[in-house]
Amino acid sequence: MKKYITIVCIFILLVSTSGCKLIDGEKMICSFKTNNYEINYRGTNITQVRISRQYIYEGDFQAKVEEKKKQIEEYEKKILRNPGITSEIVLDRAMVEHIITVELDGYDYEHDPFHLFDVPLTEADVKNVETLRERLVDQDFNCDPIVP
């Protein structure tokens, strides 16, 4: 009987802790024009915004891809000086994808000195996921919550 109670307790503990992990890892995906946004948040506080900008070329794309890669590298020299920002370039034949990850703790999102967002953010947007979601939807964004 004691063994049975121990097994039940362990099972309940596992279920309850896995539920906590789901809450910590919640995400929301938003897309607007050629930008895709992945918004990570914990509870109601947004912790990180990941912006993926895609540039797709037709025709003589090799030269255009190289030119865009150089432009992005110049841009990265400027933005990567800001703490909490990481950047990645993905090349795929006729497409260049530039992925910028912004840790919102410490970033001047109100003035957005590097123009990372198409929509000006306020302190309320960053602190509350529902407010941000409503704001993004008002700006013709399509947002869907993701279940990890």
Instruction: Give Cα separations from 58 to 61, 66, 73, 94, 117 (angstroms).
Output: 6, 14, 22, 7, 26
Domain ranges of the chain: 27-146
Bridge partners of 95, per DSSP, are 56, 92
Check residue 43 and report its DSSP letter: T
The second-level CATH assignment, the architecture, of 27-146 is 2-Layer Sandwich (3.30)
Model pTM score: 0.58
pLDDT, one tens digit for every residue, the chain (148 residues) = 554 443 433 434 333 333 323 334 456 666 555 567 777 777 666 778 788 888 877 777 788 888 888 988 888 888 787 777 888 888 877 788 888 888 877 777 777 777 777 677 777 777 776 676 666 666 655 565 554 3
Which strand (E) or helix (H) includes residue 123?
A: helix 123-127
